Amino acid sequence: MKEIKFTVTDPLGIHARPAGILVKEAKKFSSKITVWKGDKSCDMRKLLALMGMAVKQNDEITVQVEGDDEAACAEAIEKFLKENF
């Protein structure tokens, strides 16, 4: 399992459109991707659940990636997070 820790700097947090693109990115991989904020978690493939976590600016999230392509997947997700949030 791979784990990424990330602090959101975007003033709007994880908001609709980029969240949508993040979901699309996540769907490219077969690994299970779980997003944690505090003790709440959701599947990164699910846009509404992800938006429902209300991740705001300065919130720290943890992303756990588990599966056959976890290395490539974790790398791609981390890059995407850094560039967009």
Locate 50 and state its tokens. Answer: 């992800």
Per the CB < 8 A criterion, the answer to whether 85 and 8 are in contact is: yes
Binding of other proteins by 32 (CB under 8 A): no
Among 57, 68, 69, 71, binds other proteins (CB under 8 A): 57
d(CA 8, CA 81): 8
Candidates 32-40, 50-58, 61-69, 72-80; binding stretch for other proteins (CB under 8 A): 50-58
d(CA 76, CA 58): 21
Binding of other proteins by 52 (CB under 8 A): yes
Residues that bind other proteins (CB under 8 A): 7, 9-13, 15-17, 19-20, 23-24, 45-49, 51-52, 54, 56-58
